[in-house]
């Protein structure tokens, strides 16, 4: 089901997505949002497990991660299924796969073999540990990458086991870096005509956003630890109690802290030696947080927010889905769209991001409702197969 014109910058780029679960499909979603044609290849009768993932009454994650995609099926355990996949890949600009390293090679689809047929092909390979190294053959999921990349050890409260985020951040980061690599590889191909392999591992994607965790240890032996809702030495920046909930304030820059003190009716605090600069506030972080908390709990969230806006202090509510749907800023920027769906009537979901001024991305197609939903059209239009040939492949379980 289509409902929007394709104005994206990647219009005309064909992507074969052979991934499943989160990392491969999210990489495909990002490219599809920006206008690429995404042909998702699934095993017949089985499909991507993402089809049944999600919470609540209905598994709606699929509607987000598979939007803008066409779905075809092929049994890659059969030589004929492998041959179909190779023919599709020969027509493509980008291949995305997130199987364990060596799986493509087992199917006769090593990058070298694929490049022999399509030298312009960009192969995005997302895996737990990368395509090389002593751990490359190990099974890897996002949470394991988060642990190895340093994320899990520093998330949560210090007196409890490490926490996880409420979303699959390791997979999403690896997918995002895979997408970034594909775009960089497209630029190289524009200049040289050469395709290449993009190797995006879960643990290195997480490592990339770990700030100065490694240099701090290497230079001075400092080891970051779990600290709960605040970052040690960055003050004030925390979630504070109010009379009707909780509210996040980030006033850790000197001039911003001064504005917070004015909002509190305590301008003298900005000159107090304990709080006069970044280092001093970090040393007295606990007492400063307690002082601010005693003030914020006398106010409602709305009253506190009004003061923060008036005084130019970065702050905000802890949004839940209903807050997002009701918020005028979300509405003005169309951060959440409400688009037609053949089964659900309409589905609300996050819009395409980032926003491009000349070539905006869009949600143009609902997620394919069934495995092999687009077999007939894709195999006919892309591979030139006849109705009879397609029917024969279906009858023999190849697609």
Which residues are marked as active site?
171
Distance CA 350, CA 55 (A): 16
Radius of gyration, CA atoms only, the chain: 25
Q: Identify the CA nearest to 152 among candidates 131, 128, 169, 177.
A: 169
Both tokens of 262, joined, read 């004015």
CA 387, 393, 399: angle at the middle one, nearest 5? 110
User: E strand or H helix at 200, and its extent?
Assistant: strand 197-201
Contact 33, 360 (CB under 8 A): no
Q: Identify the CA nearest to 278 among candidates 247, 300, 304, 257.
A: 257
CA 381, 382, 385: angle at the middle one, nearest 5? 65
Distance CA 53, CA 22 (A): 10
What is the SS3 assignment for 283? helix
CA 256, 253, 163: angle at the middle one, nearest 5? 115
Distance CA 66, CA 52 (A): 12
Beta bridge partners of 94: 15, 122
> DSSP E strands: which ranges in 270-374?
315-317, 336-341, 345-350
């Amino acid at each position: 089901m289509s409902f929007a014109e394709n104005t994206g910058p990647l219009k005309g780029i064909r992507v074969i997505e052979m991934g499943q679960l989160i990392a491969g499909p999210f990489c495909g979603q990002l490219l599809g949002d920006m206008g690429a044609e995404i042909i998702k290849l699934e095993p017949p009768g089985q499909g991507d497990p993402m089809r049944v993932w999600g919470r609540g009454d209905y598994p709606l994650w699929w509607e987000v991660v598979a939007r803008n995609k066409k779905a075809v099926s092929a049994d890659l355990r059969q030589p004929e299924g492998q041959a179909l996949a190779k023919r599709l890949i020969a027509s493509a600009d980008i291949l995305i796969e997130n199987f364990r390293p060596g799986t493509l090679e087992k199917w006769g689809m090593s990058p070298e073999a694929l490049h022999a047929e399509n030298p312009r092909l960009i192969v995005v390979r997302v895996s737990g540990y990368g395509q090389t190294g002593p751990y490359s053959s190990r099974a890897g999921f996002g949470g394991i990458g988060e642990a190895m990349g340093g994320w899990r050890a520093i998330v949560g409260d210090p007196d409890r086991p490490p926490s996880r985020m409420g979303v699959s951040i390791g997979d999403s980061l690896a997918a995002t870096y895979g997408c970034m690599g594909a775009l960089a590889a497209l630029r190289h191909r524009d200049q040289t005509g050469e395709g290449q392999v993009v190797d995006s591992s879960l643990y290195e994607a997480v490592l990339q956003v770990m700030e100065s965790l490694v240099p701090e240890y290497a230079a001075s032996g400092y080891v970051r630890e779990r600290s709960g809702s605040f970052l040690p030495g960055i003050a004030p920046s925390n979630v504070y109690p109010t009379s009707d909930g909780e509210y996040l304030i980030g006033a850790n820059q000197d001039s911003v802290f001064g504005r917070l003190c004015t909002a509190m009716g305590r301008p003298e605090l900005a000159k107090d030696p304990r709080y006069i600069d970044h280092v001093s506030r970090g040393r007295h972080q606990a007492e400063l947080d307690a002082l601010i908390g005693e003030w914020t709990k006398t106010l409602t969230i709305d009253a506190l927010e009004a003061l923060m806006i008036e005084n130019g202090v970065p702050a905000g509510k802890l949004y839940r889905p209903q807050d997002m749907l009701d918020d005028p800023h979300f509405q003005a920027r169309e951060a959440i769209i409400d688009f037609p769906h053949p089964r659900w009537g309409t589905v609300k979901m996050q819009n395409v991001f980032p926003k491009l001024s000349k070539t905006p991305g869009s949600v143009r197609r609902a997620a394919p409702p069934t495995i092999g939903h687009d077999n007939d059209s894709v195999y006919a239009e892309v591979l030139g197969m006849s109705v009879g040939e397609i029917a024969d492949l279906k009858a023999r379980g190849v697609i």
